[in-house]
Amino acid sequence: MSSQPIKFIQGNEVCVEAALYAGLNFFAGYPITPSTEIAEHLSSRLPQAGGKFIQMEDEIASICAIIGASLTGNKVMTATSGPGFSLMQEALGYAIMAEIPSVIVNVQRGGPSTGLPTHVSQGDVNQARWGTHGDHAIICLTASNHPDIFTMTVEAFNMAETYRTPVILLFDEVVGHMREKLVMPEPGEMPIVERLRTSVKEGVDFHPYLPREDGRLPMSDFGGVHRYNVTGLVHDMWGFPSNSPQVAHGLLRHLVDKIQNNVHEIARYKTYETEDADCILVSYGSSARSALHVVENRRKRGEKLGLLELQTLWPFPHNIVRSVCARAEYVVVVEMNMGQVMEQVKLAVGSDQKVFLANRIDGVFINPTDIRNILRLIQGKGV
């Protein structure tokens, strides 16, 4: 039994508590619904812990400021919603290119454009993957309930430091604003990853962009003994711009490989009753709660239904989806968009015919009846 307090709080607040647990000490942000509470709570909590909170003039400035702060050795985060996330894309690419550990929270709302500010959507799955220009890999995590928001937020910081990369936490309005119970983990209960710092002594040539054999790059804090260059241009192992095809090729391969080669390490997911299921629901975020309700409800009536809940959206765990869905007759992807994850599930399953979509795109939370109606259609039972 944990001696930590049991809290009845909002999803956005859980993200705050988890970020502090993971060691967050610098946050820059710009308020936008439905992510605002993250900034509000951190403005009070961070200075209490000796950390820094700054409300910048816009979202672009916010992500730029956390990149700067990360370089001095801080654990950093910003939080936003759809339109703000769009504004951050260029600097997100910079953080990928310059390999800056950072966490970017996007509490999704309806879109495109200003869309539905106070309504739910899961429409930013592909923006998280491909919003910034150029070829790259990305890590994007999500969650459907408070304990998982806590876990995935801590994991986001751990992965950011492990892989020297920005990590996106893609929540949605419902999980962000929902209130439910959270039992805070004890200090030390969850592993916390600190960034790898170089052991190269002062005066010895330091290569900030020369990966070790395991692909990791030890860092040196700005203001420390090693002076080096950080740029968004293609750069050599010292961080200086280069036009060499070999350097460009090597860098891009490194950026992609360090994440794609670790899909199995990064993949987080949950399965419910999938082993004997002939119909598997695949879902994530708040819609996975409705999907789980359907599975539990229909199992009682003897239907062989299972749920695969994805918590890592990118890199997409194709192998896991493939193996979990291998013996299912139908796969139904439950999401609040036009099928952004469904496209990946189709690739994984390798068949267009058995993958279906149960979705809502009207800003209204997808409920178990919506999913049940789609299932009846697929099963030829009518609505």
Distance (Å, whole) CA 175 – CA 9: 11
Q: Across-strand partners of 139?
A: 167
Which C-beta is closer to other proteins: that of 50 or that of 188? 50
Measured CA to CA in angstroms, residue 135 lies from 91, 102, 124, 246, 249 at distances of 15, 19, 18, 16, 11
Which C-beta is closer to other proteins: that of 63 or that of 141? 63
- Least distance (Å) between residue 238 CB and other proteins: 10
User: Mapping DSSP to helix (H, G, I), strand (E, B) and coil, where does residue 144 land?
Assistant: coil
- Least distance (Å) between residue 12 CB and other proteins: 20
Distance (Å, whole) CA 291 – CA 243: 50
Which C-beta is closer to other proteins: that of 233 or that of 377? 233
Which C-beta is closer to other proteins: that of 5 or that of 302? 5
Q: Are 24 and 157 in contact (CB under 8 A)?
A: yes
Tokens representing residue 380 in the block: 């030829």
Peptide bond into 166 cis (omega under 30): no
- Least distance (Å) between residue 43 CB and other proteins: 9
- Least distance (Å) between residue 55 CB and other proteins: 10
Which C-beta is closer to other proteins: that of 58 or that of 186? 58
Distance (Å, whole) CA 366 – CA 360: 6
Helical axes 146-163 vs 11-22, angle rounded to 10°: 40
Q: Across-strand partners of 79?
A: 105
- Least distance (Å) between residue 301 CB and other proteins: 53
Distance (Å, whole) CA 207 – CA 200: 9
Q: Which helix (H) or strand (E) holds 64?
A: helix 59-71
Angle (CA) 121 124 129, round 5°: 155
User: Mapping DSSP to helix (H, G, I), strand (E, B) and coil, where does residue 167 land?
Assistant: strand
- Least distance (Å) between residue 46 CB and other proteins: 8
- Least distance (Å) between residue 100 CB and other proteins: 10
Backbone dihedral region for residue 363 (phi beyond 0: left; psi -120 to 50: alpha; all else: beta):
left
Residue with tokens 């910048």: 56
Which C-beta is closer to other proteins: that of 96 or that of 295? 96
Which C-beta is closer to other proteins: that of 72 or that of 297? 72
Which C-beta is closer to other proteins: that of 98 or that of 184? 98
Tokens representing residue 359 in the block: 């979705």
Which C-beta is closer to other proteins: that of 223 or that of 245? 223
- Least distance (Å) between residue 142 CB and other proteins: 26
Chain residues in the site for other proteins (CB under 8 A): 25-26, 28, 44, 47-48, 50, 52, 54, 56-58, 60-62, 64-74, 76, 90-91, 94, 222-225, 227-233, 240-241
- Least distance (Å) between residue 190 CB and other proteins: 24
Tokens representing residue 43 in the block: 């403005």
